[in-house]
Amino acid sequence: MSLYHLYKIYLYFFIGILYSKNKHLNRILQKEGMVVAKVITITNQKGGVGKTTTAAALISLLSSRGYHVLGVDLDPQGSLSFSLGLDIDHCKTIYDLFKNSASIDEVIVSTEICDIIPSNIMLSAIELEFDLPNREFLLKRHLSMVANRYDYIIIDTPPALNILTVNAYVASDGLIIPMAPEILSLLGVSQLKETIQTVQDCYNSHLVVFGLLLNKFNPRLHLNREVYEMSGQLAKQLHTKVFQTTIRTGVAVAEAPAYGESVVTYAPRSNSAKDFQHLLDEMIELISES
């Protein structure tokens, strides 16, 4: 490496410390191959807690703020792909990527909002078909080929603790764990702890939990407030925090996927959309400090 290139590396490094939130600087660093995307997985083994809603909202908001975003749909139901307007039955998917029957560039679909690696029901066969050594690194290996093109990669996961979930954790810098304000949702989050610990010990020592997120939250209900308080104790066990932002429920959340949109583009003035704006502010601040 020449002295000129070494000088550039040191210069960008120190500037990066001072201006870690500067998107234009990140573009320069990415072109030089010195910055890769921050990979964030939205996860919970329990269904119906708003994982896909959260992933779609964060993707849309990051894109609207000028970030380059890749969404990765790891759920065989294809909910994220569908929610962002893709025809999941007539495109190449992450299943083709894992089977090496398509390259990552062939699988990525570009939309007005972001780039997406879609999924469909074929992915449900992964447990049987991908019984190979180091299969936990399948996703990480493929994403490493494009990570320098993006500022953020957002992964939506299935409601299960399986090899797909483990792949997401291995490839990620951090996790956001949405949960509903219900007692059973607390139980589901507590069961994630062992899987997260195993991945940290065996595959990805840098993995962190960015925070627990209360979805479908109604501050007027006693149970909701009670679960919020109890989730703080659970967050301590996961060495993390509960996001100060809670996401209020609303009709727009349920309607948006039918129009191929996230709630923040479908109903930007809704309470849920406003809450997701605050969540993104909190998330970016948290990441910049980590």
Cβ atoms of 44 and 51 closer than 8 Å: yes
Question: Which H/E stretch holds residue 71?
Answer: strand 69-73
Report the pLDDT value the prediction gives residue 219, as an integer from 0 to 100: 87
Domain-embedded: residue 202? yes
User: Residue 225 pLDDT more than 70?
Assistant: yes
Sequence-separated (6 or more) residues with CB below 8 Å from residue 9 = 34
Domain count, the chain: 1
User: Which amino acid appears at position 116 of this protein?
Assistant: I
Question: Between residues 272 and 125, which one has the greater pLDDT?
Answer: 272
**Residues 168-213: tens digit of each pLDDT:** 999 999 999 999 998 888 888 888 899 999 999 999 999 999 999 9
Q: How far apart, in whole angstroms, are the C-alpha atoms of residue 235 and residue 288? A: 20
Q: What is the pTM of this model?
A: 0.87
Say how many C-beta atoms besides its own lie within 10 A of residue 130's C-beta: 15
Report the pLDDT value the prediction gives residue 272, as an integer from 0 to 100: 96
| Full residue range of the structural domain in which residue 221 is found | 33-289
**Residues 128-162: tens digit of each pLDDT:** 777 778 899 999 999 999 999 999 999 999 998 89
Domain-embedded: residue 23? no
User: Residue 257 pLDDT more than 90?
Assistant: yes
Q: How far is C-alpha 29 from the geometric centre of its chain's CA atoms?
A: 22
In this structure, are strands 174-179 and 152-156 parallel, antiparallel, or unpaired?
unpaired
Report the pLDDT value the prediction gives residue 260, as an integer from 0 to 100: 93
Measuring CA to CA, which residue among 81, 61, 46, 52 is closest to residue 254?
52
Is residue 194 helix, strand or coil?
Answer: helix
Domain-embedded: residue 218? yes
Choose the most confident range, by mean pLDDT, from 6-20, 24-38, 123-137, 203-217.
203-217
Check which CATH number belongs to the domain holding 276 and give it.
3.40.50.300
Phi then psi for 38, rounded to 5 degrees? -80, 125
Report the pLDDT value the prediction gives residue 22, as an integer from 0 to 100: 53
Q: How far apart, in whole angstroms, are the C-alpha atoms of residue 77 and residue 55? A: 15
Domain-embedded: residue 2? no
CA distances from 259 to 204, 262, 265 (A): 37, 9, 10
Domain-embedded: residue 6? no
> How confident is residue 287, by pLDDT bands cut at 50, 70 and 90?
confident
Report the pLDDT value the prediction gives residue 7, as an integer from 0 to 100: 53
Mean pLDDT within 237-249: 94
